[in-house]
Structure 1
Amino acid sequence: MSDLDKVLAHIDADFDNALDRLFQTVRLKSISTDPAYAAETRACAEWHSKDLETIGFASEVRDTPGHPIVLAKNHEAEGTKVLFYGHYDVQPADPLELWEGDPFEPKIATLPDGSKEIRGRGASDDKGQMMTFIEACRAWKAVTGKLPIPITILLEGEEESGGANLPGFLDAARDELGADVAMICDTNMWDKETPAITTSLRGLCAEEIFIHGADRDLHSGFYGSAAANPNHILARIIADLRDADGRIQIPGFYEGVPEPSPELLAGWEKLDFSEAAFLGEVGLSIPAGEKGRSVLEQTWSRPTCEVNGMHGGYIGDGFKTVIPAVASAKISFRLVFDQDPHKIRAAFREFVKARVPADCRVEFKEFGSGRAVAFEVSAPAFQRTQQGMSDEWGKEAAFVGGGGSIPVTTMIKEKLGMDVVMAGFGLSDDRIHSPNEKYSLTSFHKGIRSWARVLAAL
């Protein structure tokens, strides 16, 4: 048997113990957003640091102005140096009455089809996911006495509460964190049988605008047509944002947006994806974005402009004939590739100002921004990760895009200068952030085996 075969056999034999270790960390209420759980959040960091020491890592719990960060290193081996990122904090479990059991007393549930899932807060996001990597390291150490490559592990305690202290930590510890590639296990598979590597994430720019008209709400019988109506002004602004083909009309908006490569598009076309089924799940049937673009293009490689909320005038029961003094909207942009969120924000504000009458005014409120991130899938780390995952699952791992944002990925690329391989084993129905969070037992088991193969390949 090869070393890898022995490691895989050990993972199978030790799986009950791996499951017990996952249960131990899920029982720790590391709710980072609630100060009442600060002590238990620290206890979780200390548990993981001690656990990593048992695998041969030199591990420390590093204090930050908020919750601590666990930093562990094992550089005994030669070869590709990996920085693995995970987060040990979790979302609050509220509302507790919607859980089928205690969210911090994990259990195994058997489904009608015979499959099993781990239930508990953090089972998927991110304790179960990050433990797949740690358990793979444990197996290599147990079988061969060392890890196959040099590894640094960084576990954050504030991912679910904004991650305010991570940027400063990355700056301060830059020299300690140097590696050839970073790995994150906090994403999903394509489906329950097809592993996936996320190669791009969209950035974000969000604004709230307030259109101010008269100095008070007006009687529409007395002032109708004569007085500017902020609702009308806001409606025109929103209508002008897109043309009839779905293209966003803000000047310069598409600067830095290239076409996806033919290779990437070809990979997406191979995926078993039904636009009708995707929209049908939410009661729709007609794609509403840019004409001539597939739904996968629209959600993975094209920028968006969405109105997330609107308010103006009387919206209670019954009717009130007023011209409101103010109307507001929350508008967000998902950004791709090299779009600059600061330029987008400035261009959007100019776009709005140009449509506000001289006797009215507009007020802007900023709600954060971040750049998109994308990686070249031909890089060796991506190819070797794909091979390891494909070997384990018996299906080629898909390179997929992500419609959302994971800020740490951009931070690692910009601050530490390395690619990030996002290889996760979650499923879209894992109910993360919601009651009854779960993680497929198969995902946990084969996730460990997958990482063992990836480490061998690297």
Structure 2
Amino acid sequence: MAALDPILNDIDRDLDNALDRLFEFLRIPSISTDPAYAGECRRAAQWLAGTLDALGFETAISETSLHPVVLAHAPKPGAPHVLFYGHYDVQPVDPLDLWETPPFEPRIAEGPDGAKRIVARGASDDKGQVMTFVEACRAWKAMAGELPCGVTILVEGAEENGSQGLPEWVAENRDRLGADIVLVCDTSMWNAGTPAITTSLRGLAYFEVKVRCADRDLHSGFFGGAAANPIHVLARIIAGLHDADGRVTLPGFYEGVRETPPEILEQWRGLDLSPEKFLGPIGLKEPAGERGRMLIEQIQSRPACDANGIIGGYTGEGTKTVIAGEASAKVSFRLVDDQDPEVLARTFEAYVRERVPADCSVEVICYKGSRAISLPFDMPELETARAALEAEWGVPPVTVGAGGSIPIVGDFKRILDRNTLLIGFGLDDDRIHSPNEKYDLRSFHKGTRSWARILAALGEAGRRG
């Protein structure tokens, strides 16, 4: 697209200035989980609002129950409209002594491979990624005088605090968030040279099970063989959740789980994500999920169940021959497609209660769950973004799912009824949430160019449509 050349050239020429702006943003210690930094979170919101206001956006800072959000509009009547989401808050920096340089004094360093990288807290998660989109908008405004499509930017300040207050804010302000598609830049590439579009996020259901048998801990010499043991009860419950083929045994568990299209499975086979590559670095070698499924399916497109902890009886040093009076376990389910966490909660509780002896009691605590998010594989915006990314990186982007959960994406679907394209330029070794967080300079630079292309492509697709 010839009209893109001036935009991309401006991004290249202005890279040093873009880094200066990013470094200003990174110097603000906007740690959302620590009340002592509430003022810094507000300062980050003000800095971003001022930046967007200077670009010609209609910008406002809006209050939530925790930290404020930045909302900016650049409408373009008759053109497609996108809603971009990111966050300006960052994780705490502890342990501070493991940082090679102060976390809020950003710098350019050279990695082991010779690549330049931006080092600072928030460099990758998520200030650097947010600024790739902002800088793409800056280039369009500078060279074309306007954006190729309508844009709303929503940047929150409590993502690292569970997005506290944001779903309620979105519900109250849905009339200010109209868009055809939501764009998120808070994910990773497949590798340093291959971009990725995340098309699904697994949902989550989380439970705590407490089994009580005797009214106190018992001497196993006096009562062993006669008294019910809550650890045994829990162990049987947990063991029974999977069959010999690794499938979850809860009745109706796989209702709503769809098969991945063959063409996507073929693409995933070509990625060669072997057990040696994925499990080897953590000291394992055999996939433990459903038999007959590729490893990439097990971690992305299939549901899963795991025991996250089990507590009961004596766990100190040495020996103590007791039968516990109580034992507890924490169990989580990763959900896909149309699995309903509320239905699962009822099914799981019934499963547990059926397996507890009559003279024992059980309490099942259900924590808040979230549904999975899946994009239609034939969604036009997905193909548009894929073509734009391939034009920038020279290779087709990988279409993948993510095993984790980003609940606000589900809220965008539930409240706004809009799908979300998750296109991030982070790398697996960016050390997010850890000391010495970094963001490759190439990721920042080409991420900005990628967004410029995606905005152009979405605007062009709207004109053709």
Question: TM tier, shorter chain?
Answer: over 0.9
Paired position in structure 2 for 1:448? 448
Distance 2:78 2:121 in 1: 37
Which amino acid in structure 2 is aligned with residue 34 of structure 1? D
Paired position in structure 1 for 2:412? 412
Q: Does 1:337 align with 2:364?
A: no
Paired position in structure 1 for 2:316? 316
Distance 2:327 2:313 in 1: 7
Deviations 1:217-266 (A, max 9, x none): 00000000110011111111111111111111111111111111122212
Distance 2:206 2:76 in 1: 45
Paired position in structure 1 for 2:242? 242
Paired position in structure 2 for 1:197? 197
Distance 2:32 2:446 in 1: 29
Distance 2:196 2:167 in 1: 27
Range that drifts further, 269-278 or 382-391: 269-278
Which amino acid in structure 2 is aligned with residue 337 of structure 1? D
Distance 1:286 1:76 in 2: 53
Q: 1:400 offset after TM fit, Å? A: 0.5
Q: 1:164 offset after TM fit, Å? A: 2.1
3-state SS of the aligned residue for 1:204? strand
User: What does 1:48-197 align with in structure 2 at a 5 Å threshold?
Assistant: 48-76=48-76, 78-197=78-197
Contact 2:65 2:164 in 1 (8 A): no
Distance 2:312 2:17 in 1: 57
Distance 2:230 2:297 in 1: 35
Distance 1:154 1:425 in 2: 19
Which amino acid in structure 2 is aligned with residue 54 of structure 1? A
Q: 1:8 offset after TM fit, Å? A: 0.5
Q: Does 1:382 align with 2:379?
A: no
Runs of 5+ unmatched residues, structure 2: 459-465
Distance 1:130 1:77 in 2: 25
Range that drifts further, 5-14 or 74-83: 74-83
Contact 1:304 1:333 in 2 (8 A): yes
Deviations 1:140-197 (A, max 9, x none): 0000111111100000111110112111111111111111111000000001110000
Contact 1:77 1:146 in 2 (8 A): no
Distance 1:144 1:301 in 2: 41
3-state SS of the aligned residue for 2:174? coil
Q: Does 1:298 align with 2:298?
A: yes
Distance 2:457 2:378 in 1: 15
Contact 1:141 1:147 in 2 (8 A): yes
Task: Identify if the C-alpha distance between structure 1 residues 78 and 10 changes in structure 2 by more than 3 Å, giving closer, same or farther.
Answer: farther
Distance 1:253 1:380 in 2: 31
Distance 2:133 2:383 in 1: 18
Q: 1:3 offset after TM fit, Å? A: 2.5
Which amino acid in structure 1 is aligned with residue 86 of structure 2? G
3-state SS of the aligned residue for 1:237? helix
Q: 1:101 offset after TM fit, Å? A: 1.1
Distance 1:248 1:46 in 2: 48
3-state SS of the aligned residue for 2:367? strand
Which amino acid in structure 2 is aligned with residue 125 of structure 1? D
Q: 1:436 offset after TM fit, Å? A: 1.0
Which amino acid in structure 2 is aligned with residue 61 of structure 1? I
User: What does 1:252-267 align with in structure 2 at a 5 Å threshold?
Assistant: 252-267=252-267
Paired position in structure 1 for 2:46? 46
Distance 1:429 1:78 in 2: 42
Range that drifts further, 364-373 or 299-308: 364-373
3-state SS of the aligned residue for 1:281? helix
Q: 1:435 offset after TM fit, Å? A: 1.0
3-state SS of the aligned residue for 1:60? strand
Range that drifts further, 161-170 or 447-456: 161-170
Runs of 5+ unmatched residues, structure 1: none
Distance 1:314 1:304 in 2: 30
3-state SS of the aligned residue for 1:208? strand
Paired position in structure 2 for 1:11? 11
Deviations 1:85-125 (A, max 9, x none): 01111111111111111111111111232101111110000
Normalising by structure 1, we get a TM-score of 0.98
Normalising by structure 2, we get a TM-score of 0.97
Q: Does 1:222 align with 2:222?
A: yes
Contact 2:274 2:295 in 1 (8 A): no
Q: 1:309 offset after TM fit, Å? A: 0.7
Contact 1:77 1:147 in 2 (8 A): no
Distance 1:247 1:273 in 2: 21
Number of equivalences: 458
Task: Identify if the C-alpha distance between structure 1 residues 49 and 177 changes in structure 2 by more than 3 Å, giving closer, same or farther.
Answer: same
Deviations 1:429-452 (A, max 9, x none): 111111111111110000000111
Paired position in structure 2 for 1:438? 438
Deviations 1:272-322 (A, max 9, x none): 422221111111111111110111111111111101111111111101000
Distance 2:112 2:231 in 1: 52
Q: 1:387 offset after TM fit, Å? A: 0.9
Q: 1:77 offset after TM fit, Å? A: 5.8
Contact 2:273 2:295 in 1 (8 A): no
